[in-house]
Amino acid sequence: MSTASPTRSRGRRSTRPSGDERESAILNTLERMLDERPFGEISVDDLAKGAGLSRPTFYFYFPSKEAVLARLFARMIAATDPAAVQSPDPAAATDPEQVCRDGIFAFFEALRPHRGVAVAGLTAMAANAELRDLWSQFMTAWIDHTTGFIEAERARGAAPVTIGARDLATALNLMNERVVFAAQGNQEPTLPEDAALTAVAHVWAMSIYGTGAGI
């Protein structure tokens, strides 16, 4: 009797993807598709097929395509949190506008790999409470970060004390939200990304430092 059969059987045995791998496949499929078409044009069947899974298997991991988007949106927010973004040291700079430009550019760069997710999340936010809550937390974190920055610049005498630091930080970040995502989402009217960055940095420098240095 041949003894080769068990060996061949073991050699043919394939490794089934783990639950984490299947979940990641679904997330990666949606992120890839969002770079190609709007969220509304993507179906659960598209996601399941793209991840190499059946429709019932998809529902084992996510209750809806909106839940997949929310997970991706949360992941994007974690990657662009102020604590995760490398910002320049303002004390080492001499050009206020460049300080603002570098800080905003760091945010742009962190967001760039997730552009499709950002646009889809902001578009779907009006009808999705989870996305709204995530975005509110994100904006609050950046407002807190900017408030601390303005207060520190005022404390070291680099910026004049004008309106409340938090009020100013809130207005500047809400401006960023509108200008940046109009550019990211190719809305009209809008500005090319580099022009948007320059314009926003100019407004920040004028608002915080009361100067147009470098212009």
3-state secondary structure of 144: helix
pLDDT in tens, 140-199: 999 999 999 999 999 999 999 999 999 999 999 999 888 877 776 667 787 888 888 899
- Report the pLDDT value the prediction gives residue 79, as an integer from 0 to 100: 85
Cβ neighbours of residue 5 closer than 8 Å, sequence gap 6 or more:
none
Report the C-alpha gap between 204 and 96 in whole angstroms: 9
All domains in the chain, ordered by first residue = 19-63 (1.10.10.60), 72-209 (1.10.357.10)
CB 90 within 8 A of CB 149: yes
CA separation for the pair 42, 48 (Å, rounded): 11
The encoded tokens of residue 97 equal 């506008």
Digit-coded pLDDT (tens) for 25-78: 999 999 999 999 999 999 999 999 999 999 999 999 999 999 999 999 999 998
Give the span between the Cα atoms of 204 and 31, in whole angstroms.
32
Q: pLDDT, tens digit, for every residue of 75-119?
A: 999 888 887 666 656 665 568 888 888 888 877 777 888 989 999
